[in-house]
Chain A
Amino acid sequence: MNDASSRTEPTCAEVEQLLPLVADGALDAEADPVLFAHLAQCAECQEALARHDLITLAIGQGAATSAAPRLAVIHYRLPRMVAWASAAALMLGLGGTAWWMRGAPQTEPLVADREIIHVTVPGDATGNGYYLIRDGDRWQRVDPGRLDGDRPAEASATRRDSAPVGYRY
């Protein structure tokens, strides 16, 4: 009666091989009606194709750059007097740009929405220092014992004695 009855029905495994072409737009119902007849009535293959389509859409969306907040982590080793002075200034709410950073050598200009500055103070018994976190214009001091989850402290542990290093995550 018609051509379709003379063709073997594809198995799901065979259909799976061809799904990348379907997702790519290289194969349509006119080109392969038998394939699409299977798709029309097979939940697993529809699900698999939907996942291929998810990939296509996600990549397409990824093309538009979204403004993810960038984080810069800077590790400094400060002379004790400077460390105390800056901490005091911050606690007095004098916020703003970290003045002690002016003139400090930078490997590259920092453009970040957030910064975490790890300050270690020579002679500090614990040796952990503390963190100054800038979020936009707001500054906050955090002591390591109060940090949860991933701590920059892990990354900085080996760099405490080296020259100031700035890098982005």
Chain B
Amino acid sequence: MSGEHPESSPGEPASPQPMATAALSAEAFAVAPSADPVTALLAREEVVLRRVIQRYVRDAASVDDVFQEVSLKVMRRLDSVRDHAAVRGWLFQLARNAALDHLRREDRRSALSQENLAEHRARGDLGRNPSEQFLSAERIAAVRKALTQLPESQREVIRLRVEEDLDHEQIAKRLGISRQAVEVRLCRGRASLKEQLDHILSGGL
């Protein structure tokens, strides 16, 4: 077994990989034995993590900020990951959650309204044009449209989950249905929304 860990980057199509070869050892990372494993891990995974963040966050300065947050979390919490094979999945989760938190904070700070467009442009949030933003006005409108086409039973559970941040148990109590029913409606509703959103955004109406 070689010390090199075979990998494919997120930019390529998924290929079958041998599982469980990411050992948290300096040799596996091909760095000097004295290197701190956390630093080595971050150095090795930085490109991959930044790509994950960039799916959500478009301007370079914010990507840097979010990556810094992720790095801090890795340093603090890497010990909690017991299964070496789970490290990459764990890192992916960290990066995604940090990116989403960033977007939610940005959202609270300023809604994407006309008055704020100038501000966003100055900060470089908009890239070359507003529709490059992950959460653009066009996409929000598309989601709202897809939402109106859901059956009411699915729409109401999604609203309670997202807008009121209720957990599945609380939604079940509120609506007088079982938790399983809540989960089925959430799953079906979200799947329908995605299907419709894909259709709307690819030019269909």
Contacts and interface: CB of A to CB of B under 8 A. Distances in A.
Interface in A22-56: 23-24, 26, 28-29, 33-56
A166 interface: no
B10 interface: yes
Contacts of A36: 86, 88-90, 92-93
Contacts of A19: 190, 194
A57 B193 CA distance: 13
Given A1-B20, A9-B16, A40-B91, 15 more contacts: A5-B19, A7-B19, A20-B191, A21-B187, A29-B86, A36-B93, A37-B89, A54-B143, A55-B190, A56-B162, A57-B104, A57-B107, A58-B140, A63-B162, A64-B111
Contacts of B194: 19-20, 48, 51-52, 55
Contact of B104 (A24, A50, A52, A60): A60
Interface of B: 7-8, 10-14, 16-17, 19-20, 48, 52, 55-56, 83-86, 88-93, 96, 100, 103-104, 107, 111-113, 134-135, 139-140, 143-144, 146-147, 158-159, 161-163, 168, 183, 186-187, 189-191, 193-194, 197-198
A37 B104 CA distance: 25
A40 to B, nearest CB: 4
Contacts, number: 150
A150 interface: no
A39 B111 CA distance: 30
Contacts of B162: 56, 59-60, 63
Given A28-B93, A29-B93, A41-B14, A59 B159 contact: yes
Interface of A: 1-5, 7, 9, 12, 19-21, 23-24, 26, 28-29, 33-64, 66
Contacts of A28: 93
Contact of A60 (B96, B139, B163): B163
A37 B14 contact: no
Contacts of B189: 20
B144 A58 contact: yes
